[in-house]
Amino acid sequence: MAQNQGPLIPIIRFSEMYHILIECYIRKGNLEEAVTMLNALRLSRGAKTKITNDIEAVELMDRLVNDIIRETLTEGQTFFMYKRLNRNIFNGETDIEMKPEDWIVPIPYSETNF
Protein backbone atom coordinates (compact mmCIF):
# COMPACT_ATOMS: atom_id res chain seq x y z
CA MET A 1 0.00 0.00 0.00
CA ALA A 2 1.29 3.44 -0.87
CA GLN A 3 2.70 5.44 2.03
CA ASN A 4 1.70 8.79 0.57
CA GLN A 5 -2.00 8.00 0.29
CA GLY A 6 -4.30 10.55 1.86
CA PRO A 7 -7.46 9.72 3.80
CA LEU A 8 -10.02 7.54 2.06
CA ILE A 9 -12.99 9.68 1.10
CA PRO A 10 -16.28 7.99 0.24
CA ILE A 11 -17.77 9.25 -3.00
CA ILE A 12 -21.15 9.07 -4.63
CA ARG A 13 -21.60 9.09 -8.35
CA PHE A 14 -23.93 11.44 -10.15
CA SER A 15 -25.98 8.46 -11.35
CA GLU A 16 -26.43 7.27 -7.75
CA MET A 17 -27.85 10.67 -6.81
CA TYR A 18 -30.23 10.39 -9.76
CA HIS A 19 -31.29 6.91 -8.63
CA ILE A 20 -31.99 8.15 -5.09
CA LEU A 21 -34.06 11.06 -6.38
CA ILE A 22 -35.96 8.86 -8.86
CA GLU A 23 -36.82 6.41 -6.06
CA CYS A 24 -38.09 9.31 -3.94
CA TYR A 25 -40.27 10.58 -6.79
CA ILE A 26 -41.74 7.10 -7.30
CA ARG A 27 -42.48 6.72 -3.58
CA LYS A 28 -44.13 10.18 -3.50
CA GLY A 29 -46.25 9.33 -6.55
CA ASN A 30 -44.58 11.88 -8.83
CA LEU A 31 -44.16 9.39 -11.66
CA GLU A 32 -43.88 12.00 -14.40
CA GLU A 33 -40.77 13.54 -12.83
CA ALA A 34 -39.36 10.09 -12.07
CA VAL A 35 -39.81 9.05 -15.72
CA THR A 36 -38.20 12.28 -16.94
CA MET A 37 -35.15 11.77 -14.75
CA LEU A 38 -34.79 8.05 -15.49
CA ASN A 39 -35.08 8.74 -19.22
CA ALA A 40 -32.38 11.42 -18.98
CA LEU A 41 -30.06 9.00 -17.19
CA ARG A 42 -30.82 6.10 -19.55
CA LEU A 43 -30.36 8.22 -22.68
CA SER A 44 -27.00 9.44 -21.40
CA ARG A 45 -26.02 5.76 -21.11
CA GLY A 46 -27.00 4.98 -24.71
CA ALA A 47 -30.60 3.77 -24.39
CA LYS A 48 -32.44 3.96 -27.70
CA THR A 49 -36.00 4.23 -26.37
CA LYS A 50 -37.72 6.31 -23.72
CA ILE A 51 -39.97 5.09 -20.95
CA THR A 52 -43.47 6.48 -21.48
CA ASN A 53 -45.39 8.46 -18.87
CA ASP A 54 -48.25 5.92 -18.76
CA ILE A 55 -46.10 3.43 -16.82
CA GLU A 56 -47.34 2.12 -13.46
CA ALA A 57 -45.33 2.80 -10.29
CA VAL A 58 -44.48 -0.89 -9.73
CA GLU A 59 -43.14 -1.30 -13.26
CA LEU A 60 -41.21 1.97 -13.01
CA MET A 61 -39.60 0.77 -9.76
CA ASP A 62 -38.65 -2.48 -11.54
CA ARG A 63 -37.06 -0.45 -14.33
CA LEU A 64 -35.17 1.61 -11.75
CA VAL A 65 -33.93 -1.54 -10.01
CA ASN A 66 -32.69 -2.94 -13.33
CA ASP A 67 -30.93 0.35 -14.08
CA ILE A 68 -29.23 0.34 -10.67
CA ILE A 69 -28.11 -3.26 -11.22
CA ARG A 70 -26.56 -2.34 -14.58
CA GLU A 71 -24.92 0.77 -13.14
CA THR A 72 -23.43 -0.89 -10.05
CA LEU A 73 -22.71 -4.38 -11.37
CA THR A 74 -20.00 -6.19 -9.32
CA GLU A 75 -19.65 -3.35 -6.79
CA GLY A 76 -21.68 -4.90 -3.98
CA GLN A 77 -24.19 -2.06 -4.00
CA THR A 78 -27.07 -4.22 -5.24
CA PHE A 79 -27.11 -6.16 -1.95
CA PHE A 80 -27.93 -2.96 -0.07
CA MET A 81 -30.55 -1.96 -2.66
CA TYR A 82 -32.28 -5.35 -2.38
CA LYS A 83 -32.13 -5.09 1.42
CA ARG A 84 -33.50 -1.53 1.48
CA LEU A 85 -36.34 -2.43 -0.90
CA ASN A 86 -36.95 -5.80 0.81
CA ARG A 87 -36.79 -7.60 -2.54
CA ASN A 88 -35.86 -11.14 -3.42
CA ILE A 89 -32.46 -11.47 -5.08
CA PHE A 90 -32.44 -12.62 -8.71
CA ASN A 91 -29.41 -14.84 -9.29
CA GLY A 92 -29.69 -14.95 -13.08
CA GLU A 93 -32.08 -17.90 -13.19
CA THR A 94 -34.49 -17.68 -10.27
CA ASP A 95 -35.39 -15.46 -7.35
CA ILE A 96 -33.75 -16.23 -4.01
CA GLU A 97 -36.47 -15.62 -1.45
CA MET A 98 -35.09 -13.45 1.33
CA LYS A 99 -36.40 -13.51 4.89
CA PRO A 100 -35.54 -10.70 7.36
CA GLU A 101 -32.91 -12.83 9.10
CA ASP A 102 -31.19 -13.54 5.77
CA TRP A 103 -30.09 -9.91 5.49
CA ILE A 104 -28.03 -10.04 8.69
CA VAL A 105 -24.47 -11.27 8.28
CA PRO A 106 -23.25 -13.06 11.42
CA ILE A 107 -20.23 -11.70 13.26
CA PRO A 108 -17.34 -14.16 12.87
CA TYR A 109 -16.55 -16.14 16.02
CA SER A 110 -12.94 -14.96 15.86
CA GLU A 111 -14.18 -11.38 16.29
CA THR A 112 -16.11 -12.13 19.49
CA ASN A 113 -13.82 -14.69 21.13
CA PHE A 114 -11.15 -12.76 23.03
Residue ranges of domains in the chain: 14-105
Confidence band of 2 (pLDDT split at 50, 70, 90): low
Higher pLDDT residue, 40 or 90?
A: 40
The fraction of the chain above a pLDDT of 70, given in percent, is 97
Distance (Å, whole) CA 112 – CA 80: 25
Report the first-to-last Cα separation within the chain, whole angstroms. Answer: 29
Assessment of whether the complete model's pTM goes beyond 0.85: no
> Smallest Cα–Cα separation from 22: which of 12, 10, 33, 8?
33
Using alpha carbons only, what angle is made at residue 51 by residues 16 and 82, rounded to the nearest 5 degrees?
Answer: 40
The alpha carbon of 57 is separated from its chain's Cα centroid by a whole number of angstroms, namely 16
Distance (Å, whole) CA 96 – CA 7: 38
What integer pLDDT is reported at residue 31 of this predicted model? 98
